[in-house]
Amino acid sequence: MGWTRKILRVDLSKGSCKSEPLNMEWAQQYLGQRGLATKYFVEEVDPKVDPLSAANKMIMATGPLTGTMASTGGRYSVITKGPLTGAIACSNSGGHFGAELKMAGWDMVIFEGKSDKPVYLWIQDDVAELRDASHLWGKTTWETEEMIKSGHHDPQIRVASIGRAGENGVFYACIVNDLHRAAGRSGVGAVMGSKNLKAVAIRGTVGVSGIRDFKAFMTATNAAKKVLADNAVTGQGLPKFGTQVLMNVINEMGALPTRNAKEVQFEGARKISGEAMHEKRLSDGKANLVTNAACFGCTIACGRISQVDKDHWSVKNNPKYWGATGGLEYEAAWSLGAADGVDDLDALTVANMICNEDGFDPITFGATVGAVMELYTMGVLSKEQIGIESPFGSAQALIEITRMTAEGRGFGKEVGLGSARLTAKYGHPELSMSVKGQEFPAYDPRGIQGMGLTYATSNRGACHLRSYTVASEVLGIPVKTDPLVTEGKPGLVMAFQDATAAFDSSGTCVFTTFAWSLGDLAPQIDAACEGGEGGWTVERLAQLGERIWNMERLFNNAAGFTAKDDDLPLRMKTEPAKTGPAKGLVSGIDKMVPEYYQLRGWDKAGVPEKDTLARLGL
Amino acid sequence: MQKSLHIDPGKCTGCLQCEMACSYENYGVFNLSKSRIKVFNFEAEGRKVPYTCTQCAEAWCMSACPVDAIRIDAATGAKVVHIDVCVGCKVCTIACPFGTVNYVADSGKVQKCDLCGGDPACAAACPTAAITYIDADWTGLDKMRQWAGKTNTQPRASA
C-alpha cells in the first residue's frame, strides 16, 4: 500500500503528539507528499493566515515511494504558507531524513500552534514526544545535529533543523537535514522558527513493509533504474558534474542572469562551472570537488561534496570549513556567483556552506545580494549602511554579507528580508528579480522564454522546480523546443507543471524526469499502492497533477493573489538581452499568460472555471 | 570456484540500495536497521564505506560459538548462522574482530551476512559496482592492475 496509513499530529501549543489514521480517500486523489499534505493544509488552514503566526501550520510529508527501493525514493516535502511570498509553500528535500520518518512508521507530521519555549520533536518509531531545546537555541544546524546525536548516544539518528536564520526570522530560512540537504525555498524554516520548533530528530526501525505487490514492485523499480542508468543526463552528466553541468551551457545560450539580471552572460562562468570544480587549484593542487554523493535510494548521485583550500582567505583560521561537505549545485553557484558577478569558486563554496550551516536559501540570498550590489552601484546604499564596500564582483562583500545574514547582525537583518522587501524599502522595487516575492533562479526568461512563464505562474513564487521547461528548451527532453520563442510554451509549461506535481507527490526526485516520464513512474506507484479499479495509470497521475496545481491556485487566490501577480519584473519586459543568442529579446510573458489561462480552463482573471473544478473533483 | 564479495569504497555514493536489498532479501521489508551490510559515512573526508562480513577462512565467530550454530555453507563458503540452534549468547559478536556479527533484540539471535546462498542481493542492487561478487582468488586484481599501470616503465623500443 506504499502508505503507512498513519500521521502524527503535533500541537506545539499544548505540547501533545497524537497518532491519526491517514485519510485514505484523499490519498486516492492526492497520492502523498506534496499533493496529499497540501490537501490537508488547505482543508485546515485559513488562506489569509499570517504565515508567522501560531495559526499557520506546517506539514512534513513523505510519499508512498519514500523509504522504498525505488530510485531516489527518499524525498519529503514541507508544506505551509510561506512568509517570503504569502503563497502556498512546498519545499522538497532529499538526504536521509524523509526515509527515516517513513521507516519510523509515519506518512506525515502536522505541526500546529506555537510552543512557548524552544522544543524539538523526538520520534523513535511509534513513540513521539516534544523535548526541551533551550540548549540548542542559537546553535547552527551542524551543531544541532551533532548535539542531538550525542545527547541520545545514537549516531544513526536523522535530524532536520533550523539554524540561526530560522530563529531570527530570515524570510527565506530553510530547513536543513543531513547537514547539507534542504527544504530550501519560500521560508519554511522561518515558519518552523516562529513555532519555536528547533529540530525534528528521528530513529526509525520499523521499516516499510506495506508494498501492495513486492514482486511487481521490484520488477518495476529495476526497469526504471535501468532507464536512469542508460540516460546520458542521469547516467553520466549528473553523476559527474551535478546540476553544475549547466553553467557553461546556459551561459553560452545567453540565459545566465548576471549582475542582478542586467546582463545574460557572465564572463566568469567558466571559473565557477562544474568543469572547474574538477580542476586542480593552483594554490594547493587539489580540486574543489571531492566526490559525488547520493541521497537515500538514489541511483543518480548528483550531489556535490566539496572541500576548499584551507588557506583561502575566507576560511583561514576557521577549521570548521576545512572538511569536505555539501558543495555547489548549479542554482547556488549562479545566485552566489553570476548574479553577484563573483567568480571565486572557493568563496562561493564557503558562502554556500554558511547557507547550509545556518539554514537559509542560497537562491534568494544570492539574488538579494545582487540587488544590494546594484543599489550600492547606483549610490542608493553606501559602504557605511552595508558595512563593507559592495560592488558587483566583490567576493569579500559576498562572504561578509553571508556571515551577517547568518548571524542576524547589522545589515544582514535587512538582507534577511529578501530582495522584494529590501528594494521596496529603499525605493526601487523594480530591482527585485522576483515573482510573488520570491527570487527567480538561474535561467533568464529572455533567453529561455518558457522559464518566464514558469516563474510567472509558479504557485510558490518564482521557481525552476515547478515546470522545468529547460529540459525541453535546452536539453531536448522529451522533445526539443526553441528557447527563443513563446509559441507552444503555455502548453509545455502546463504539461510540465502537472507531471511535476505528480512526481512531487510520489516520494521520488524530480531529477528523474530527465529520463523518466509518468510512464516510468506509474508502474512503480501501482505496484506499491492500492489504487482501486484501474490502478495507478499515467492518465490518472497526470490528472492528479492537474488537480494539485488547481488546488494550490485556489489557495493562493483566496490568499489574495490575482492575475497581476502572474508577471515578471519590469526588467525582463523592457531591457533586452545585450549579448548572446537572445540579443535584443525581452520576455514575451504578456503573450503567454492569457493563452496559459485558457489552456488551464481559467477565466481572464486567472480563476479556475466551474467546469474545470468539477472535472478535477475540486 | 569460490566467490566473495568485493567492496570498492571509492565507487560508493552512499545511496543505501544495498542495505535495503539486504533487509528485503532476508526479512521481506525495506528496513535499514535489519541490514547485514552497513554503509559508513566519513563526512569530513567525503568517504562512504560499505562494510560487511568477509567470510574469514578461519572464522573466529564459528570457533567461538558454544552450540555450533555457525556453520560453513559448502556451496558458497559462507559462514551461516543457524537460527534454530543459536542461543543468542553473543560470544560470536565478541570473537569477530570486525564487528560484522550482530545481535538482533527482536529475535534474540545473531545475524550476519550469508551471501544470500550465492547471489548476494546487495551486489545486485548496487548501482555503481562498488559491491561486486567475484572469484575469491582474484579479489585484488583490479587494484593490482591499477598500481601496475603506475609503474614507471617506458615501452620497449621495437628495434
Q: Check residue B19 and give its pLDDT.
A: 98
B128:A209 CB<8 A:
no
> Grid coordinates standing for A390?
559592495
Q: What is the rounded CA–CA span in Å between residue A164 and residue A589?
A: 38
Contact B102, B36 (CB under 8 A): yes
Which of B103, B116, B105, B34 shows the shortest CA–CA distance to B69? B103
Q: How many residues does chain B have?
A: 159
Residue A227 contacts B, CB cutoff 8 Å: no
pLDDT digits (tens, 9 = 90+) for A105-117: 999 999 999 999 9
A459-475 average pLDDT score: 97
Could you report the per-residue pLDDT of A590-611, keeping only the tens digit for each? 999 999 999 999 999 999 999 9
Contact: B15, A298; criterion CB under 8 Å: yes
Q: How far apart are CA A446 and CA A213, in angstroms?
A: 48
Distance from CA of B38 to the nearest CA of A (A): 11
Q: What is the pLDDT, as a whole number, of residue B152?
A: 77
All residues of chain A having their beta carbon less than 8 Å from the beta carbon of residue B45 are 290, 323-324
Alpha-carbon distance of B143 to B140, in angstroms, equals 5
Mean pLDDT of all residues belonging to chain B:
93
Nearest Cβ partner of A297 from B16, B34, B43?
Answer: B16
- Identify which of A207, A294, A297 has the shortest CB distance to residue B29: A207
Average pLDDT of the segment spanning A550-579: 98
Cell of A272: 565557477
Q: Do B127 and A69 touch (CB under 8 A)?
A: no
Going by pLDDT thresholds of 50, 70 and 90, the confidence category of residue B150 is confident
Residues in chain B with CB shorter than 8 Å from the CB of A301 are: 13, 15, 127-128
Beta-sheet pairing, A175-177 with A181-183: antiparallel
The answer for residues whose C-beta is within 8 angstroms of residue B59's C-beta and 6 or more apart is B70, B72, B79
pLDDT above 80 for B159:
no
Pairwise CA distance, residues B32 & B22, whole Å: 8
> What is the 8-class DSSP label of residue A345?
H
Smallest Cα distance from B128 to chain A, Å: 8
Q: Which distant-in-sequence residues (6+ apart) come within 8 Å of A345 by Cβ?
A: A271, A272, A276, A277, A288, A328
Beta carbons within 10 angstroms of residue A385's beta carbon: 15
What span, in angstroms and rounded, lies between the C-alpha atoms of A337 and A327?
Answer: 13
Rounded distance, CA B6 to CA B135, Å? 9
Residue B57 CB contacts under 8 Å (≥ 6 apart), including other chains = none
Of the candidates B24, B28, B45, the beta carbon closest to that of A69 is on B24
Residue in B23, B28, B45 nearest the CB of A324: B45
Report the pLDDT value the prediction gives residue B144, as an integer from 0 to 100.
87
pLDDT digits (tens, 9 = 90+) for A357-408: 999 999 999 999 999 999 999 999 999 999 999 999 999 999 999 999 999 9
Interface probe for B, chosen from A206, A296, A322, A356 (most Cβ of B below 10 Å), is A296
Classify strands B102-104 and B131-135 as parallel, antiparallel or unpaired.
unpaired
Residues in chain B closer than 8 A to A297 (CB atoms): 15-17, 20
Other residues' Cβ atoms within 10 Å of the Cβ of residue A140 = 22
Give pLDDT tens digits for A189-206: 999 999 999 999 999 999
pLDDT at B139: 79
Q: Read off the amino acid at residue A93.
A: S
% chain A with pLDDT above 70: 100
Q: How far, in Å, CA of A298 to CA of A470, rounded?
A: 22
B105 chain-A contacts, CB cut-off 8 A = none
- Contact flag A297-B15 (C-beta cutoff 8 Å): yes
CB of A374 closer than 8 Å to CB of A432:
no
Interface contact flag, A207 B127, Cβ < 8 Å? no
Tally: H helices and E strands in chain A: 26, 17
Residue B138's pLDDT is: 82
Partnered with residue A609 across adjacent β-strands are: none
Phi and psi at residue A220, in whole multiples of 5°? -65, -40
Please enumerate residues of B whose Cβ is less than 8 A from a Cβ of A.
13-17, 20-21, 23-24, 27-34, 43-48, 125, 127-128
To probe the interface with A, which of B19, B24, B29, B30 has the most A CB atoms within 10 Å? Answer: B30
C-alpha cell at A531: 489504487
pLDDT above 90 (res B136): no
Rounded CA gap, A104 and A123, in Å?
8
d(CA A152, CA A157): 8
State the Cα–Cα distance between residues A245 and B95, nearest whole angstrom. Answer: 49
B125–A103 C-beta distance less than 8 A: no
Helix (H, G, I), strand (E, B) or coil at A360: strand
Judged against a pLDDT cut of 90, whether residue B158 lies above it is answered with no
Chain A residue with the nearest C-alpha to that of B128: A299
Mind telling me how many Å the CA of A151 is from chain B's nearest CA? 19
CA distances from A594 to A33, A99, A562 (A): 31, 41, 13
The residues near A375 (Cβ < 8 Å, ≥ 6 apart) are: A381, A423, A426, A428, A431
* Residue A541 sits at the chain B interface (C-beta within 8 Å): no
Residue in A328, A330, A327, A337 with CA at minimum distance from that of residue A268 = A337
How many Cα atoms occupy the beta-carbon half-sphere of B64 within 13 Å? 15
Mean pLDDT (whole number) for A68-96: 98
pLDDT band for B151, please (50, 70, 90 cuts). Answer: confident
Q: Please tell me if residue A295 touches chain B, with a CB cutoff of 8 Å.
A: yes
Q: Is A295 close to B32, i.e. CB distance below 8 A?
A: no
Which among A202, A188, A37, A575 is positioned nearest to B32, based on CA atoms? Answer: A202
CB-CB neighbors (< 8 A) of B30 in chain A: 67-69, 103, 207-209
**Pick from A274, A325, A301: which is nearest to A94 by CA?**
A301
| Closest chain A residue by Cα to residue B129 | A299
- Cβ contacts of B131 within 8 Å, gap of 6 or more: B5, B6, B7, B8, B18, B37, B50, B120, B122, B123
CA B51 to chain CA centroid, nearest Å = 6
Dihedral sign of CA atoms A365, A367, A370, A374 in order: negative
- What distance, in Å, lies between the first and last C-alpha atoms of chain B? 43
Report chain A's terminal Cα–Cα distance, integer Å. Answer: 25
Contacts of B44 in chain A (CB under 8 A): 323-325
DSSP annotation string for A429-464:
GGG--EETTEE--S--TTTSHHHHHHHHH-TTSS-S
Retrieve residue B144's grid coordinates: 593490482
Mean pLDDT of A495-513: 98
Supply A125's cell numbers: 518509531
Inter-chain residue contact A296 with B16, CB threshold 8 Å = yes
- B20 and A297 within 8 Å at the Cβ level: the answer is yes
Taking the C-alpha atoms of residue A543 and residue A549, their distance in angstroms, rounded to an integer, is 10
Other CB atoms within 10 Å distance of the CB of residue A243:
21
Least Cα separation, residue B124 to chain A (angstroms)? 10
Q: Which of B8, B11, B13, B38 is the mutation pick for testing A, counting most A CBs within 10 A? A: B13
The pLDDT, as a whole number, for residue B142 is 81
Q: Residue B16: closest CA among chain A residues belongs to which residue?
A: A297
- Name which of A480, A261, A246, A208 is nearest A373 in CA terms: A261
Of B15, B21, B24, the CB nearest to A301: B15
Q: Which of B17, B34, B44 sits opposite A323 (nearest CB)?
A: B44
Q: Which ranges of B77-139 would DSSP assign to H, the alpha helix?
A: 91-95, 121-125
Cβ distance of A209 and B44 shorter than 8 Å = no
pLDDT for the residue B146: 86
Cβ atoms B135, B1 nearer than 8 A: yes
Question: Quick check: A237 and A245 in contact, CB under 8 A?
Answer: yes
Q: What percent of chain A has pLDDT over 90?
A: 100
Chain B residues within an 8 Å CB radius of A103: 30-33
* pLDDT value of position A53: 98
| Residue B157 pLDDT greater than 70, yes or no | no
Residues A10/A128, Cβ–Cβ less than 8 Å: yes
Question: CB distance A293–B34 less than 8 Å?
Answer: no
Residue B63 has pLDDT above 70, yes or no: yes
The DSSP letter of residue A107 is: S
Cβ–Cβ of A229/B21 closer than 8 Å? no
Q: Which of B20, B28, B44 sits opposite A214 (nearest CB)?
A: B28
pLDDT in the model for residue A483: 98
Which grid coordinates are listed for A301? 548521485
Q: Please, how many CA atoms are within 13 Å of residue A482, restricted to the half-sphere of its CB?
A: 7
Rg of chain B (C-alpha set): 18
- Cβ atoms of residues A362 and A176 within 8 Å: no
**Cα angle B125, B126, B128; round to 5:** 145
Do B48 and A229 count as a contact with CB atoms less than 8 A apart?
no
**DSSP β-ladder status, A119-124 and A127-132:** antiparallel
Q: Which three cell numbers stand for residue A528?
A: 506499491
How many beta-carbon pairs under 8 angstroms link A with B? 81
- Looking at residue A1, its pLDDT comes to 62
pLDDT at A236 over 60: yes
Tell me the per-residue pLDDT of A315-357, one tens digit each, with 9 for 90 and over.
999 999 999 999 999 999 999 999 999 999 999 999 999 999 9
Nearest-CB residue to B23 (from A96, A207, A229): A207
Q: Which pLDDT tens digit goes with each residue over B71-109?
A: 999 999 999 999 999 999 999 999 999 999 999 998 999
- In angstroms, rounded to a whole number, what is the distance separating the alpha carbons of residues A287 and A282? 9
Judged by a CB distance cut-off of 8 A, whether residue A69 touches chain B is yes
Distance between CA atoms of A474 and A255, rounded to whole angstroms? 10
